Amino acid sequence: MALIPRINLFIFVLVLVSCGNQLPKRPLIQYTFESKNLEEVISESVVWSKAHEMKYHFGYWKPSVWVKFEVVNSENEPKDYILELESPWVDEVLIGWVTKGKIVRKTFNGSSSFSAREVPHRSPVYKLTLEPLETKTIYAHIKNSGILNAPFRIWEINSFFDRIERDYIANGVYFGIIFALLLYNLLIYISVREKAYIYYCLYLATLVINYSLLGGFFKQLLVPELEISIKPYLYVSVNSSLMFVGLYSLAFLDLKKINPRLNRMVLLSVVGFGVLALLSFLLPSNWVEVSFIYTFPYMFLLLMSAGAYSFAKGTKSSSFFLLAWFTLFIGVIADSLTKAALIPFSTFGRYGVQIGTAFEVILFSLALGRRLRFLLEENLISKSELTTIKKDLETARKIQMRILPDKLPQNQKLTMEVSYLPLYEIGGDFYDFFEFSDGFGLVIADVTGHGVSAALDSSTVKIAFRNAKEYKESPGELVAAMNRFLCTSLHARFVTVAYFYLDLVQMKLHFSSAGSPPFLIVRNGEIESFECPGLLLGVRSNSSYEQKTIPLLKGDRLVIFTDGLYENLKPGADFTSILFPEILPIIDLSQIEFHQKLLDRLSKMRQNSKDDITLISLDIH
């Protein structure tokens, strides 16, 4: 059972990172290793290589390289671009171009404080504006102790910031998985005092440090004012990771008993990585990086061999250990081949290392859990599994709550009350809204099913809703756009949805629905229901959706809900015969009192909840 919530969490990662547009292609670059200044390079007094489509890796021993490439605006209006060098750990960058006969010069220093950067981003980033139909040549001088590369991308500015948001979500969930596993296994160590757990927790901690340093998060989020180079700390962390995973393997595989010679080999390797970690501040960066090219495959093969030997000797939990290393290997290979443009771009390729390590630590955790199952009595096993499920569900609940709005709308023309009551710790209902100057857009949705799987799919509904923002004033088109997205993103699951656009200037309500229940308007002491039938989302990609419009008056109260509010209260009765008699006695109460009283009255009628419940009331002022 512990496997299910962890895999569901990881599916959530894949759903998030797989949405959105593809990355822009890298520009055709030319390069030279000549020692020239910017003025000399711009004057073309150097010999350039031929243009290469994806050539950006220049090895470990060159100290610097000049590259040039073109940025083209093919449109008849000015456009803003972002030039990104995807190397958060680079030492120095000088970039320049000519504008109106003058040289524009911009610099980047990896040791400078994060707050001093022109654009607050993890990688070196530069803003560039091109006039209509303009082509501009960019020159960049890159210095780096270690791997020397020039992985530039040219972004349209909106696409760049959209991708940043998606990357933050993906990396946030990735780090969340690691932290959840770290805390969980640390608690188990406190309970059972098993050495393998503490080594595993130390390995997880160094993984977090590795990727926060490698991805630029450490400097951005923790020490934005500090002027330091992250490289020595990264090398310490990487070698410490290999040291702690070696210690974990020694304790987990119990090599000292089954093969003392293999145990000594792993132990000597662990000592070697510890020494490398201590010397990381003294050794040249390119030496350390080149050594890692050989030490990582060596450690991988050594521990895979140890795991296979342990499995052959009857340690069945070693199967998880072997699978963990295999998934990490596949992830690293996919990431490397994608960056080298040897395989087509894919979600797995872009996030190969994160996906590989996420699977690795999950499988390591499962291996530890299985080993513990052999050591503890049956009753302790049951309690441990229950605790695991609760913790994972709580983690999933917190993740889901982050996809719901964290505050109610701030609008002088309307007030909103919401009650979100999932059947279990998490549910498949979803709501969100757009606020803008002269209107308000509200969506409410219900994913078929309950629990973790429905909750994860509700995150896909949020993505579909946010992607359809351009249709925020046209409910029919917005629902159709959501349907097209969900038809390609959901499998064997459907969604009911209703979207409401309140035009607060002309006082009109435009709405469209896809299988959602009718909504109510309470006006002058009377109740009226409205509906706009439509096919559920996720069934047929070319479905169109009707849009209706009704007038709004000051004092109107809209009551919007999912079918869990009234279903299973009176078998065979329609929603009007259930809700109208419960609303009429409280129709004159204030919004907050009305909202809570309606829920209370319906809960007294409900013997057992069988579905998620979402209730939204909107008062027009």
Over residues 265-311, the pLDDT tens digits come to: 989 999 998 998 888 888 877 787 778 778 878 888 888 888 888 88
**Residues 1-47: tens digit of each pLDDT:** 344 444 444 444 444 444 444 667 788 889 999 988 999 899 888 88
The answer on pLDDT for 174 being more than 70 is: yes
Choice among 425-429, 488-492, 540-544, 594-598 with the minimum mean pLDDT = 425-429
pLDDT at 172: 82
Q: How far is CA 472 from the centre of its chain?
A: 24
The answer on pLDDT for 169 being more than 90 is: no
The answer on pLDDT for 194 being more than 60 is: yes
244 vs 216, more confident: 244
Q: What is the DSSP track for 552-589?
A: --TT-EEEEE-GGGTTTSSTT--HHHHHHHHHGGGTTS
Under 8 Å between Cβ of 395 and 367: no
Choose the most confident range, by mean pLDDT, from 13-27, 355-369, 574-588.
574-588
210 vs 615, more confident: 615
pLDDT at 110: 84
β-pairing, 557-561 vs 508-514, is unpaired
pLDDT at 393: 66
pLDDT at 545: 93
Q: What number is the average pLDDT over the span 176-192?
A: 81
Q: What number is the average pLDDT over the span 508-523?
A: 93
Question: Could you give phi then psi for residue 467, rounded to 5 degrees?
Answer: -65, -25
Distance between CA atoms of residues 105 and 134, nearest Å: 19
- Residues facing residue 615 across a β-bridge: 419, 561
Confidence band of 339 (pLDDT split at 50, 70, 90):
low
The answer on pLDDT for 553 being more than 90 is: yes
Q: What number is the average pLDDT over the span 363-382?
A: 64
**Residues 470-479: tens digit of each pLDDT:** 999 999 999 9
The answer on pLDDT for 382 being more than 70 is: no
Max Cα-Cα span within the chain: 87
Under 8 Å between Cβ of 67 and 140: yes
Under 8 Å between Cβ of 415 and 475: no
Confidence band of 334 (pLDDT split at 50, 70, 90):
low
pLDDT at 3: 42
Phi-psi category of residue 341: left, alpha or beta, with phi > 0 → left and psi -120 to 50 → alpha = left
The answer on pLDDT for 248 being more than 50 is: yes
Choice among 84-98, 312-326, 333-347, 481-495 with the minimum mean pLDDT = 333-347
428 vs 329, more confident: 428
Among candidate residues 477, 475, 403, the one with its CA nearest the CA of residue 439: 475
Under 8 Å between Cβ of 121 and 164: yes
The answer on pLDDT for 389 being more than 70 is: no
Amino acid at 229: S
The average confidence (pLDDT) of the chain is 82
**Residues 425-454: tens digit of each pLDDT:** 677 788 999 988 889 999 999 888 766 777
